[in-house]
Amino acid sequence: MKVIYMGTPDFAVPCLERLVKEENYDVVCVVTQPDKPRGRKQEMTPSEVKVCAMEHGIEVYQPQTLRTQEAYEYLSKFEPDYIIVAAYGKILPKNILDLPKYACINVHGSLLPKYRGAAPIQRSVLAGDSVTGITTMLMGEGLDTGDMLLKSEYKIDINATSGEVFDALALSAPDLLIETIEKFTKGEIVPEKQNEEEATHAAMLSKEEAVVDWNKTALEIHNTVRGMAPWPVAYTGYKGKKLKIFTSCLTDEKTSLPAGKLKEDKNRILVSCGDGKLLEIVSLQLEGGKRLEAKQFLAGHPITSECKFEL
């Protein structure tokens, strides 16, 4: 099977690695986003998928858009049996969708039709979902609107961050992808249309969404912290500085303190929330400092009765 693989972030790397290792598949080309400036020095950096492809000596194509005759002619020369897409970041035009002998198959990080779009995993964690998963689907011209093929579920731990769920789903995706290709090739899968009434959109996260509203419930705030990690990271104000919160933990403890008030208890940092419950802050970083565990933070920033997070 000749495969063109399209993907960009680290989520897409395990599926590419698996296709390379499988004897039945020949990854003839990898399509990924153009190199982008990253870090403080803004150095041009290749995507994780490009790095993986280069390690395996696979031809890499990085067009600004696939909506050109040049892109079509470039990809058509490979005469692919399948085009496999995982978090590529661009919608494919119809002439590219029609290119492979069998199909364009997308590996999506949610149980469709919920969380179509760019940030399905993060949105699921932010919503406090207990279950998410991977869906393989036939690609259409819309945003994650194609017919579904196979699904696998993943249980989300109450303390798991978006990054942790992201990694777990990325590792589970290759098995589902290979099963999908094999069964689809044999005609053993009946594609299932998505229920549009159940569809939701998972937009990219923004830094503005990461600010913590301490008037919300402890669970809502905990889900914000989890959902915003590792990027853009939940934050609040503390003594005139920005304070990032990387991890938190729910407690059964209640309080009469106003929302945002801080309390220290046995090297723990506790903060009052809008529902009268205390949320434990596990790891944090004050502007200009390093990321610290609560005990380390308290050693240099003892909490007094006046201490509070700014709403």
Q: Determine the Cα–Cα distance for residues 241 and 244; give it in Å rounded to an integer.
A: 10
When pLDDT is averaged across residues 159-187 and rounded to a whole number, the result is 97
Q: 27-36: b or e for each residue (b if 16 or more CB lie within 10 Å)?
A: bbbbbbbeee
Q: Determine the Cα–Cα distance for residues 16 and 85; give it in Å rounded to an integer.
A: 10
Q: What angle do CA 148, 149, 154 make, to 5 degrees?
A: 85
Judge if 258 and 175 occupy the same domain: no
Judge if 150 and 68 occupy the same domain: yes
Judge if 193 and 73 occupy the same domain: yes
pLDDT higher than threshold 80 for residue 184: yes
pLDDT digits (tens, 9 = 90+) for 75-131: 999 999 999 999 999 989 999 999 999 999 999 999 999 999 999 999 999 999 999
Both tokens assigned to 213 = 């509203």
Judge if 223 and 80 occupy the same domain: no
Judge if 177 and 213 occupy the same domain: no
When pLDDT is averaged across residues 40-46 and rounded to a whole number, the result is 89
pLDDT given at position 259: 96
Q: Determine the Cα–Cα distance for residues 108 and 7; give it in Å rounded to an integer.
A: 11
pLDDT given at position 40: 79
Q: The CATH number of the domain where 184 resides is what?
A: 3.40.50.170
Q: 269-287: b or e for each residue (b if 16 or more CB lie within 10 Å)?
A: bbbbbbeebbbbbbbbbbe
Judge if 122 and 244 occupy the same domain: no
Residue 67 lies in a domain: yes
pLDDT bucket at 311, cuts 50 / 70 / 90? confident
Q: Determine the Cα–Cα distance for residues 107 and 87; give it in Å rounded to an integer.
A: 8
Residue 215 lies in a domain: yes
pLDDT given at position 267: 94
Judge if 90 and 168 occupy the same domain: yes
Judge if 40 and 119 occupy the same domain: yes
Share of the chain above pLDDT 90, in %: 94
Q: What angle do CA 95, 113, 207 make, to 5 degrees?
A: 90
Number of domains in the chain: 2
pLDDT digits (tens, 9 = 90+) for 294-310: 999 999 999 998 899 98
Q: Which of 154, 187, 202 is the last residue of a domain?
A: 202
In 3D, which of 276, 268, 272 has the Cα closest to residue 297?
268
Domain region containing 38? 2-202
Q: Which of 202, 224, 251 is the last residue of a domain?
A: 202
Q: Would you tell me how many other CB atoms lie within 10 Å of the CB of residue 239?
A: 13
- DSSP per position, 8-56: -SGGGHHHHHHHHH-TT-EEEEEE-PPPEEETTTTEEE--HHHHHHHHT
Judge if 189 and 222 occupy the same domain: no
Residue 311 lies in a domain: no
Judge if 61 and 165 occupy the same domain: yes
Both tokens assigned to 301 = 């920033």
Both tokens assigned to 210 = 């990461």
Q: Determine the Cα–Cα distance for residues 19 and 4; give it in Å rounded to an integer.
A: 10
Q: Determine the Cα–Cα distance for residues 62 and 76; give it in Å rounded to an integer.
A: 15
Judge if 46 and 156 occupy the same domain: yes
Q: Determine the Cα–Cα distance for residues 63 and 211; give it in Å rounded to an integer.
A: 35
pTM for this prediction: 0.94
pLDDT bucket at 41, cuts 50 / 70 / 90? confident
